[in-house]
Amino acid sequence: MPNKEPISSSGTILSGMRPTGQLHLGNYFGALQNWVDLQDSYKCIYTIVDIHALTTIETPEDIANIRPNIYEMALDWLAAGIDPNLSTIFIQSHIPEVMTLNTLLSMVTPLGWLMRVPTFKEKVRQMEHTEESVNYGLVGYPILQTADIILYKADTVPVGQDQLPHLELAREIVRRFNSRFGETFPEPQAKLTKVPLIVGLDGQQKMSKSLDNHIDLASTEEVTTKRILTAFTDPQRTTRDTPGRPNVCNVYSLHNIFTNESDLTTINQECTSANRGCVDCKRQLAQNLNSYLGPMRERRNDLSKRPDDIKDILSEGAKTARQLAQATIEEVYDKMGLS
Ligand code: TRP
Ligand code: SF4
């Protein structure tokens, strides 16, 4: 057998997550698992975007949560397999150059571009603000995101569908910058992540923390089981004797990820012939999920006993990132006629 060729790629990946604290299954299958895989074929840079988190903080509690949320998320990243020997991981605000670049990029970004971004309109609505009363930082969110990417001259950005407008805007900003000041940045390409849709325990909406329909990666086995037992199933299956429809059942869609083929076939048959109760079905899912997450949870436990190591990893990452950032800012100053 010939040796497996290492997949070589000159590309640099950059992606970021807002520090939301402990991650859930939706975050894992929607992004993190893919980030881990990409480490084999790209130079990867992953950042915890705490400045972006500030665009929506409103209460003292929000502020108090940022630091612990960063720490909890970093633990989940590392436990899931983000490897500091392969990737650069750091906290956005540790690289002040990103704010310099943000300001400079804002000189080539029309306000109209920013206000047309669908996520902006959505956030304004969610926050019960108007476009006039919302803070300036929120309008500029995509500029800061562009700065995140191009400060390190990354060319590939793994994101979900919802982030495509931001990436398109980043490309437009780069095109404008390059045409006005000379070829400086690569146009970043979105790399769409193919992911199964992880529906929340309510069976209605995408899994999300704010809807409280999520399962945290780091939960205990007991909590995981308890939460799965609350999950909605086929709404038409009102009694044990009513046959169920696995294809509309949220529990079954999770079985699809965590349960082996032959058990899946059995579940399907037993459900559609009313020979299986939903509670047993959920217990089986909980067991499979717990064994899937077991190794990750063990790593997380070990890491959580060494908080200083987490700090070191993040500050080493910042050191590496900062060197790249400083070189870029020097070049940008020069191109823009600053000295
Ligand atoms: N806006 C992204 C999100 O909400 C987070 C983010 C910030 C990001 N900077 C980034 C993603 C740079 C990719 C690249 O999910
Ligand atoms: Fe869903 Fe399982 Fe109940 Fe069928 S038996 S409806 S697959 S939870």
pLDDT of residue 58: 87
**Can you tell me the distance from the alpha carbon of 295 to that of 103, in angstroms, rounded to the nearest whole number?**
43
Ligand 2 pocket test, pick from 249, 270, 272 with the greatest ligand atom count within 8 Å of Cβ, gives 249
CA atoms within 13 A on the CB side of 184: 27
Ligand 1 binding pocket mutation candidate from 145, 164, 195 (most atoms within 8 A of CB) = 145
Residue located nearest, by CA, to atom 3 of ligand 2: 278
Q: Record the tokens describing residue 118, joined without a space.
A: 């669908």
Cβ–ligand 1 distance for 15 under 6 Å, the answer: yes
What is the predicted pLDDT for the residue at 2?
Answer: 44
Is residue 206 annotated as a catalytic residue, yes or no? yes
Best residue among 240, 272, 281, 289 to mutate for probing ligand 2's pocket (most ligand atoms within 8 Å of CB) is 281
Q: Ligand 1 centre and the CA of 137: distance in Å?
A: 15
Q: Which ligand lies nearest the alpha carbon of 252?
A: 2
Active site residue 335: no
pLDDT, tens digit only, all 339 positions of the chain: 444 444 445 699 999 999 999 999 999 999 999 999 999 999 999 999 999 999 998 899 999 999 999 999 999 999 999 999 999 999 999 999 999 999 999 999 999 999 999 999 999 998 889 998 999 999 999 999 999 999 999 999 999 888 999 999 999 999 999 999 999 999 999 999 788 889 999 998 999 999 999 999 999 999 999 999 999 999 999 999 999 999 999 999 999 999 999 999 999 999 999 999 999 999 999 999 999 999 999 999 999 999 999 999 999 999 999 999 999 999 999 999 998
Smallest CA separation from ligand 2 atom 4, residue? 271
Catalytic residue status for 311:
no
To 5 degrees, how large is the angle CA 158–CA 167–CA 20? 60
Quote the Cα angle for 186-191-197, to 5°: 155
- Looking at ligand 2, which atom is closest to the CA of residue 277? 5
Per-residue tokens: 193: 């992540």
The catalytic residue among 4, 43, 191, 209 is 209
Q: CB neighbours of 200 closer than 8 A, spacing ≥ 6?
A: 26, 206, 207, 208, 211, 213, 214, 250
d(CA 137, CA 236): 46
Q: Quote the CATH superfamily of domain 12-198+307-336.
A: HUPs (3.40.50.620)
Q: H-helix or E-strand containing 65? A: helix 60-80
* Residue 100 CA from chain centroid, whole number: 25
Find out whether 259 and 291 touch, Cβ atoms under 8 Å: no
Closest C-alpha among 24, 2, 30 to residue 76: 24
Ligand 2 binding pocket (C-beta < 6 A) is 233-234, 237, 244, 246, 249, 251-252, 267, 271, 276, 278, 281-282
Domain 221-298 falls in which CATH fold?
Tyrosyl-Transfer RNA Synthetase (1.10.240)
pLDDT value of residue 197: 85
What is the structure's pLDDT at 4? 43
Closest-CA residue to 311 (of 140, 89, 44): 89
Q: Are 90 and 314 in contact (CB under 8 A)?
A: yes
Domain ranges of the chain: 12-198+307-336, 221-298
What local confidence, expressed as pLDDT, does residue 10 receive?
A: 60
- Quickly count: other Cβ atoms within 10 Å of residue 250's Cβ: 21
Nearest CA to ligand 2 atom 8: 278
**Of ligand 2's atoms, which has the minimum distance to the CA of residue 276?**
5
CA 15 – ligand 1 centroid, Å: 6
Q: Looking at 121, 153, 191, 206, which residue is catalytic?
A: 206
Distances (CA, A) of 257 to 7, 26, 33, 269, 328: 27, 12, 13, 18, 42
Q: How far is the CA of 237 from the centre of ligand 2 (A)?
A: 8
- Contact at 8 Å (CB) between 51 and 232? no
